[in-house]
Chains A and B, each alone.
Chain A
Amino acid sequence: MVNEGPTEKKHVKALVIGAGPAGLCGAIAIAESIGDGKQILVVDEGIVPGGQLPKQTHKFFGHEGFYASVRGFEIGEKLVSKATDLGVQFSMQTTVAGIYEDSIVTYDRNNNSVDEYTADYLLIATGASERFLVFRNNTLPGVYGAGAVQTLMNQYKVMPGESFLIVGAGNIGLIVAYQLLQAGANVKAIVEASSKIGGYMVHANKIMRLGVPIMLNHTIVSALGEERVQGAIVARVDEHFKPIPGTEKEFVVDTICLAVGLQPSVELVAQTGAEIKYISELGGYVPIRDENMKTTADNVYIAGDLSGIEEASTAMIEGYIAGYNIAQKITGQDLSEKISTMKDELIEFRKGPFASKVREGLKKMNILFPSGGYRERTQQSTGPNGKLRAVIECPQAIPCNPCETSCPTGAINVGKNINSIPYVDYDKCIGCGVCVMKCPGLAIFLLQEKEDYSIVGIPYEFLPIPENGTIVKLFDKDGRYVADGQIDKVSVNRKEKTHLVFLRVPKGMENIVRHFDLAINSEEYVCRCEEVSRQDVEKVIDSGITDYEEIRRILRIGMGPCGGKTCRNVVLQIIAEKTKIPISESKLGAFRPPVIPLPIDAIVKSRKGVDKDE
């Protein structure tokens, strides 16, 4: 039975709902100001505090004051220990089930217990929930939300599948794609219905150079499979986002990951009686609030994605603003200086082009944020030939500046407004590579032209870490194979785990090569019956044998039970790539019967029938 006997209501000075960056910073601000964290309870339904943070293995944008260039899960850990040190109380795996007329009710699923609270102040920071997408068979096992994939992969360390199609090219879709690749999965493509990539270009570049196509103006129309996902059909869309018949393409994937946006989780705020309004620029229904993050309900404050879908950095700042305001009321002391420092931070963060929706949305609540005042042009020069130096490929004005703050020689300039596009001062740059390893967008490379070859230094976050001298395949920024190269040396960064790999690339390719692949590691099976890999096929072709039937006899490709159904075209494709002879011109090879394996007993049985008739 749930909870024997009547529950007694517990009282706290401040109850914080949600232990994401917003809630944590709110709790920290209150605890720090009132000097007694024990009066503050943070309730969160997650396994560990941190909200979205523990699921994020990538480095965050922003500036150092708000943990830029620190990996999401590590930011979470830092905030939690800060709060815990201040004495803040946590109740995890506990959901706030409702804000009732008579109490705030929590459900602790681990102990299967219900508790009742009253609080002088409420800080609601419940974040956002994922949007869903409607397409045929969208409930099949294997269709998962991006958050679910991240939870499973990065928290439980379990992979939900092997090959993925991702729907949505906003930051979440792009990041999940990158995280999946890091975990060793195959990402077939990202489809995006709109005509441009919604997320940051630096995130998109990270996965495009790994060979993941981003298909703009495309959507998913159907998942394929009877009892679980075995594939997906995507199609081009018209200007009304309607699929265009005849443009369908099939992908063989076992998992479809939906990353189609977030909506603020307003249920609890609504239960307090606070006013809620639909503001599409902020992500849907959001609570009305003032610039101190106070809602229209007495003593109820909000912060973070709940108040408008944005970023961890702004969530933290809003958390502080709400927290200091609550602390000010609890203690009666004047915290206006701290509050206005935080407000200034917000102004800087929100000046850029990616904040334009948030600015528009907040305007509808009569909260105004200025825009502009940052550099929008990218640097044209890639520096003096022959010198080892940094080049930055960070083309959009985004609120981020760890490149500037990390450079030991002060060679990189972003400037006062962190949305500005960074520039390198090539007189100062010494090619140390610190910025390459710091940049959360993995958008900085090192270049140096040598006599016989060039050096390209690449940020690298995969396994295994390559050995010096290894021959590798080189890829351009779109993931196209361009040449072979060699590992020159590797600077291993054990602590932060973004390593710097120096490649020797053919001269003239230093501005082209942006990724490499260790040939040995990429076991792409061409023929799954006989387990023949792409490398095996390429080796035979390289030895001068380019006829399909000959390759077949050497490698036994197509001699397995599938009768060549899966591999024939792939082999033809490889032949075409390697020999530059189009598939249409190469010899097709024979199609020998039977096209399906025929059971002998069936043949025997039919033989008898024939006999009888005779």
Chain B
Amino acid sequence: MGRLVEHPILNVKVSGAAEHMVFYFEDQPIFALPSDTIASALIASGIDIFGFTEHEHARGFFCAIGKCSSCLVEVDGVPNVRACITPVREGISVRRQIGRGKPKW
């Protein structure tokens, strides 16, 4: 797990460190690139367990295009956010979703 550093076909040059962003996953700071989704940034950092089901089974991402609901996380307290298609934003707090997600009001 991690970012590609070289590739025979693709250009994988990482843009300058100035463009890095930081967000939080379970209170741990995670670095991300502006092009990242929450899922790609987490997986690039070696994190692939995004939550647990009601029955305590671990879940990660699966389809990567927002069609399944495997990768649901809580972002700033809001549950059911699809990590695989949600762009990272500076400073957001992401948590593992457990079960169906708590309502926020």
- A567–chain B nearest beta-carbon distance, Å: 24
A405–B7 alpha-carbon span in the complex (Å): 28
How many residue pairs bridge A and B at CB < 8 Å? 105
Contact digits for A141-177, partner B, Cβ 8 Å, 1 yes 0 no: 1111101110111101111111000000000000000
Whether A110 touches B87, Cβ cut-off 8 Å, given contacts A156-B40, A183-B4, A463-B8, is yes
Q: Which residues of A contact B84 (CB under 8 A)?
A: 148
Establish whether residues B9 and A461, one from each chain, have CB atoms under 8 Å apart when the complex forms: yes
A154–B65 alpha-carbon span in the complex (Å): 14
- A263–chain B nearest beta-carbon distance, Å: 12
Establish whether residues B9 and A45, one from each chain, have CB atoms under 8 Å apart when the complex forms: no
Establish whether residues A139 and B70, one from each chain, have CB atoms under 8 Å apart when the complex forms: yes
Establish whether residues A142 and B48, one from each chain, have CB atoms under 8 Å apart when the complex forms: yes
A289–B2 alpha-carbon span in the complex (Å): 45
A57–B9 alpha-carbon span in the complex (Å): 7
Q: Say yes or no for B18: interface residue by CB 8 A criterion.
A: no
Whether A145 touches B87, Cβ cut-off 8 Å, given contacts A158-B3, A159-B3, is no
* B48 partner, pick from A109, A147, A160, beta carbons under 8 A: A160
Q: Say yes or no for A497: interface residue by CB 8 A criterion.
A: yes
Establish whether residues B58 and A228, one from each chain, have CB atoms under 8 Å apart when the complex forms: yes
Q: Which residues of B contact A149 (CB under 8 A)?
A: 64
Q: Say yes or no for B30: interface residue by CB 8 A criterion.
A: no
In the complex, residue of chain B having the shortest beta-carbon distance to the beta carbon of A465:
B8
Q: Say yes or no for A247: interface residue by CB 8 A criterion.
A: no
Q: Say yes or no for A227: interface residue by CB 8 A criterion.
A: yes
Establish whether residues B9 and A148, one from each chain, have CB atoms under 8 Å apart when the complex forms: no
In the complex, residue of chain B having the shortest beta-carbon distance to the beta carbon of A148:
B64
Interface residues of A (CB under 8 A from B): 45-46, 57, 71, 73, 95, 109-110, 129-130, 139-145, 147-149, 151-154, 156-162, 182-184, 226-228, 254, 461-463, 497
Interface residues of B (CB under 8 A from A): 1-4, 6-10, 12, 35-37, 39-40, 43-44, 48-50, 57-67, 70, 84-87
**Other contacts beyond A141-B60, A156-B37, A462-B8: 7, CB < 8 A:** A139-B59, A141-B59, A142-B48, A147-B65, A151-B65, A160-B1, A463-B6
Q: List 30 A-B contacts (CB under 8 A).
A: A57-B10, A140-B57, A140-B60, A141-B48, A141-B49, A141-B58, A141-B61, A142-B48, A144-B64, A147-B63, A148-B61, A148-B62, A148-B65, A149-B64, A152-B43, A156-B36, A158-B1, A158-B2, A158-B3, A158-B4, A159-B1, A159-B2, A159-B3, A160-B43, A183-B4, A227-B49, A462-B8, A463-B7, A463-B8, A497-B8
